[in-house]
Structure 1
Amino acid sequence: MTEGNNMTDGDAAGKGGGAVGVPAVDREPEEDKKENGETKVTVPQQAAAPGAEEVEFVHPEGGWGWVVMLAAMWCNGAVFGIQNAFGILFLSLLREFGSENDDDLRFKTAWVGSLSMGMIFFCSPIVSVFTDIFGCRITAVSGAAVGLVGLLASSFVTSLGPMYFTYGIVFACGCSFAYQPSLVILGHYFKKRLGLVNGIVTAGSSIFTITLPFALSGLLERVGLHNTMRVLCILMFVLMLAGLTYRPLLPVRSTNTQTGRKFPPMSKVFNLNIWKSLGYRIWAFGIPAALYGYFVPYVHLASFFVFC
């Protein structure tokens, strides 16, 4: 009887494909490695449903995407319209804090607009990380709120020094966080029409750049510099509402790790392997070099007309 029972147990263990005394939970990852030929241990039937990774995302190419396009168009117009119209505010700042003929004041005042434009692009790597972690909607709405606070605070400034912080840093950083998600979210809704949609969104900056100086000139004559900045806050408030339309569609992988951390590891945030591509390195260093050349004619033409 004893030998019969032992043989029966041995046969049952042999048919199960594992050693006697090894729990079934410990054997399942081992079986997965043998069947799939992988070296990584996987947990069966817990990570995702069968066939979930085989589903291909289809861009809607319209629908709610047109609303998102108009919201992104407003974002480009509000951000770069205000930045490009700083020349109108520049003259008012000179009259407010001194004289138009003061060369030292002109230099210091010009730094307000230069710092603001530079911070929009300087924050780009940080904004990209925040967009990947928190999504386009949260990043855009939070950025518009920060920009609104910075522009509103600038309307109460009585000296040039604090405006470096309120307008040059706070307002500009908020614009940067609101601007980049407006371009990323377009890829959630469009693929075939992405080039056309990007062109329409970018045209928003040109429309605002053309029309906003006329509006600012009238406002500055009627209500003054500080109230004009408060009126511009309306553009930033609408930008907050526009950011709420950025409903994500692309599937997002969970950022929760096995250790319970909410944020992904640094190797996922900063992908250094992409720098091994020669084409990417040429593109990454070529775009900043092109932007340097892009602004050179403006500087030389401005100097030419000043000395003439």
Structure 2
Amino acid sequence: MVEEGAVQPLTRNGVSRGPRRDDVPADGGSRAWAVMLGSFFCNGILFGVINSYGVLYKEFVDNLQKNNVTNASGKAALVGSFAMGTTFFVSPVSGVLTDWIGIRQTTFLGGAFASAGMLLSSFFSDDVAALCVTYGAMYGLGGALAYTPSLAVLGHYFGRYLGIVNGFVTAGSSAFTIAMPYFMDMLIRTTGIVWTLRILSAISGLIMLCAFLFKPVRLTTSPTKRPTLRDAFNVDVITNSRYVVWTLGIAISLFGYFVPYVYMLKFVEANFAEGSDTKLPILCIGVTSGLGRLVFGYIADLKGVNRIYLQQLSFFSIGILTILLPFSAGYYGWLVVITLGMGIFDGCFISLLGPIAFDLCGRQGATQAIGMLLGICSIPLTIGPYIAGVLLDARGGDYQLPLLLAGIPPLVGAAAMFTIKCVSIDKKVTVQNGNLTYTKASNNFNNVRQDDDKGRLIENSDKSIDCNNGQRSYNYSIL
């Protein structure tokens, strides 16, 4: 019988490849596939609901206008953008909490908050202020607590195929985004807005079941004491220069990202022939976003591919396509083509968040790296749709200016991310079993451009490799 935590020889076709711990699974296996599916459903449920807010938005706007509420469009949009913003704003707390109490426990709490928030929303469906608390704050909090660990746990079970696995998992939100608008519209027509919210509460409760699948892999076999909350905060993440620049570039890009999701249904109603399918554009984004996550997740794992360059391409394309949206007015076919393209590059952007965080910060820092990234992104995701709503009301329902302005930030963010390669790093990066540690090292900018064995770009630095039983020490920074 083998004791837990014992070191066993790793063999392949009977040939020893050195020791490994029995508590570190390889890429694959029943537990790994179960974790992947659980993460798929967590992402799908959370963002399927959030991305389909346009269906609820229409109902909320109609109710507010019947009650003669001023700035109805902006206030109703605030509820949905507040949910998205809270999901990302609280993600740094989620990252720290995950390291403190565990991946499984944090995800379970997230499912509980999301379900409770949606249930309470059903009692205040005509009160925007209350909805900002129940739907915006509570559901957003639940989303934050569940989303960050659902991505972080993937790095515990996958390494070589992390890109494609992350692409499959994040495709869950696309799959649910495809179905949710039609499902929610059917519920509203048959049961009303109140019972629609209650049914969504029950669906959100399934996240708590997914949490039981998330058993993290221990990063060390030596006994350790339970970390305090102060110890759980990883300072190395916020002192990683390239990570900071990458995060700011993404934050800039996201000021206009959520605007098309919120206003697409109303945009179609106002600018296309009566009877045009108002939900088809969101469906198109969902379908091709799922495809994009799988395709670009696979591409990101190929040798020689720079993941950050791929992400820049996605933001540039999203910006151009968003600017083109108002010019499709009256031409439904062009609208479908544009939204199909937006979905593909949306999938590229989303699928690379986790892998790039692991590239830059390692397994030990990835959880909080993802959380801090999402927390910073909450600001533009919350402000962007609200500003668009104010402009929309001020211009009497003209969507041209709000959509044109929404396309500019992704272009600026894509350009800003070029500065990542100009940022020096004065630390030596040591990667061991997916863990990242830092020691002082010097920089030497000789315009070196090479690829490591994971296909990640090594540029503008010295590189030295020491291999011993799968351990590598690199003196470089990964772009």
- Hey, which of these two has a bigger chunk of strand by percent? 2
CA gap 1:82/1:301 in 2 versus in 1, 3 angstroms? farther
Q: Deviations over 1:45-84 (max 9, x none)?
A: xxxx9999x8556433222111111111111111111011
CA distance in 2: counterparts of 1:90 and 1:230, whole angstroms: 16
Matching residue of 2:228: 264
**After superposition, where does 1:160-171 map in structure 2 within 5 Å?**
160-171=128-139
1:278 shift after superposition: 3.1
Equivalent of 1:139 in 88, 94, 106: 106
Matching residue of 1:307: 398
Matching residue of 1:122: 89
CA distance in 1: counterparts of 2:194 and 2:80, whole angstroms: 16
Q: Where do 5+ consecutive residues of structure 1 fail to align?
A: 1-48, 257-261
CA gap 1:118/1:300 in 2 versus in 1, 3 angstroms? farther
Q: Tell whether the 8 Å contact from 1:188 to 1:249 is kept in structure 2 after alignment.
A: yes
1:299 shift after superposition: 7.6
CA distance in 2: counterparts of 1:254 and 1:171, whole angstroms: 37
1:207 shift after superposition: 0.9
Q: Tell whether the 8 Å contact from 1:94 to 1:100 is kept in structure 2 after alignment.
A: no
Q: Tell whether the 8 Å contact from 2:114 to 2:205 is kept in structure 1 after alignment.
A: no
- Hey, which of these two has a bigger chunk of helix by percent? 1
Equivalent of 1:60 in 26, 36, 42: 26
1:156 shift after superposition: 1.0
Q: Which moved more, 1:152-161 or 1:80-89?
A: 152-161
For normalisation by structure 2, the TM-score amounts to: 0.48
Q: Where do 5+ consecutive residues of structure 2 fail to align?
A: 9-18, 260-318, 330-396, 400-479
1:188 shift after superposition: 1.4
CA distance in 2: counterparts of 1:149 and 1:60, whole angstroms: 37
Matching residue of 2:241: 278
Alpha-carbon RMSD across the aligned residues, in angstroms, is 2.9
Equivalent of 1:149 in 116, 120, 145: 116
CA distance in 1: counterparts of 2:115 and 2:62, whole angstroms: 24
CA gap 1:181/1:271 in 2 versus in 1, 3 angstroms? closer
Matching residue of 1:93: 60
Aligned-residue sequence identity (percent) comes to 36
Matching residue of 1:78: 45
1:274 shift after superposition: 4.3
**Matched position secondary structure for 1:307:** coil
CA distance in 2: counterparts of 1:285 and 1:201, whole angstroms: 25
CA distance in 1: counterparts of 2:109 and 2:191, whole angstroms: 29
Q: Tell whether the 8 Å contact from 1:93 to 1:109 is kept in structure 2 after alignment.
A: yes
Q: Radius of gyration: which is bigger?
A: 1
Q: Tell whether the 8 Å contact from 2:24 to 2:217 is kept in structure 1 after alignment.
A: no
Equivalent of 1:214 in 182, 202, 216: 182
CA distance in 1: counterparts of 2:68 and 2:54, whole angstroms: 16
Equivalent of 1:242 in 190, 206, 210: 210
Matching residue of 1:227: 195
Q: Deviations over 1:268-306 (max 9, x none)?
A: 333334444432332232222232364575986777765
**Matched position secondary structure for 1:292:** coil
